[in-house]
Amino acid sequence: MSAIDANDAGTDPGEAGGRPTLLVVHHSPTPKLEQLRDVVLSGARHPEIEGVDVKVVEALEATAEDVLAADAYLLGTTANFGYISGAMKHFFDSTFMECHEVTKGRPVSWWIRGGKDVTGAVKAMRSITTGFGWEVAAEPVEFVGDVDEEREESLINLGGTMAALLMGE
């Protein structure tokens, strides 16, 4: 268990006393992308958000069990060669058959950061999450380049909004 997961014990809502779970699946292979992930998580773990477990899993380590145990999904990836990262695509490929029928209608959103362009990655993310039957519940953050103050605020709000949706469930 990584340090980032240390306070997120209990992936099954039953194990966590029935608390709803926000599953954050990400591909953050560089320090800059780890910082992005941490900014999003600061919103999801805001002190005013209570009663929601936030489970954070690297895309290559996420399982169908993680998806089935969660109540909502927040996905983070890079845009590589005009597409989502291979790690994120692997996550989708390895969980789809077991999860897509059971998880239809669950809330989802994402952040995508690209160096030059995110168009293909955005199209892929929308297409794949639609295939799962998930409902976009917060405005995704999709951008090229570095994070400025405005973008950082958008990322914090994304994490906070997705976690807040589960409060009181």
Question: pLDDT: is 25 or 14 the higher one?
Answer: 25
- Is there a domain that residue 60 lies in? yes
Q: Is 9 inside any structural domain?
A: no
CB contact set of 76 (below 8 Å; sequence gap of 6+): 24, 25, 26, 27, 28, 33, 36, 37, 40, 110, 111, 112
| CATH classification at residue 77 | 3.40.50.360
Whether 59 has a pLDDT exceeding 70, the answer reads yes
pLDDT in tens, 61-101: 999 999 999 999 999 999 999 999 999 999 999 999 999 99
Residue-wise pLDDT tens digits, 114-158: 999 999 999 999 999 999 999 999 999 999 999 999 999 999 999
Question: Domain for residue 93, yes or no?
Answer: yes
pTM exceeds 0.85 for this model: yes
Tokens of 5: 């997961």
- What pLDDT does 161 receive? 98
Nearby residues of 64 by Cβ (< 8 Å), 6 or more positions away: 94, 95, 98, 99
DSSP string, 36-89: HHHHHHHHHT-TT--S-EEEEEETTT--HHHHHH-SEEEEEEEEETTEE-HHHH
Encoded amino acid at 49, one letter = I
Tell me how many domains the chain contains. 1
- Does 168 or 1 have the greater pLDDT score? 168
Residue 112 lies in a domain: yes
Residue 4 lies in a domain: no
Q: Domain for residue 155, yes or no?
A: yes
Domain assignment present for residue 16? The answer is: no
**Above 60 in pLDDT, residue 8?**
no
| Full residue range of the structural domain in which residue 82 is found | 24-164
Residue at 169 is within a domain: no
Residue, of 104 and 168, whose pLDDT is higher: 104
The first and second tokens of residue 23, run together, are 């599953």
Q: What are phi and psi of 32, to 5 degrees?
A: -65, -40
pLDDT at 48: 97
Cα dihedral: 124, 79, 87, 135 (round 10): -40
